[in-house]
Amino acid sequence: MTDKISNFTDVETAAKHFQDAIDFAHNENCPLTVRMNNRNISWWNQDLAEKTKKVSGLFNIAKI
């Protein structure tokens, strides 16, 4: 590619090169990861599950 942009095609080519460079830099520095299943949260335990169930029940009673 030349350093001088003289027509619409040169602008399109320059924009495409710029977009490709940004995409490449992003992909190199921010690799795709597989999202973990939300049910496998390390800090969630049975005690929290029971307390959440109790609070939900109390909230539903309070709504009435």
Residue pLDDT, tens place only, 6-31: 888 889 999 999 999 999 999 999 98
- Answer whether residue 1 is part of any domain: no
Distance of alpha carbon 11 from its chain centroid, rounded? 31
Higher pLDDT, 2 or 38: 38
32 assigned to some structural domain: yes
User: Can you give the residue range of the structural domain that contains 39?
Assistant: 8-63
**Which residue type does 41 have?**
I
In this prediction, residue 38 carries a pLDDT of 67
pLDDT tier, 59 (very low <50, low <70, confident <90, very high otherwise): very high
pLDDT at residue 55, rounded to an integer: 96
DSSP 47: H
- In this prediction, residues 30-50 reach a mean pLDDT of 82
Residue 3 domain-assigned (yes or no): no
The verdict on residue 30 lying in a domain is yes
Structure tokens at 17: 């090169």
Classify residue 26: in a domain, yes or no: yes
Number of domains in the chain: 1
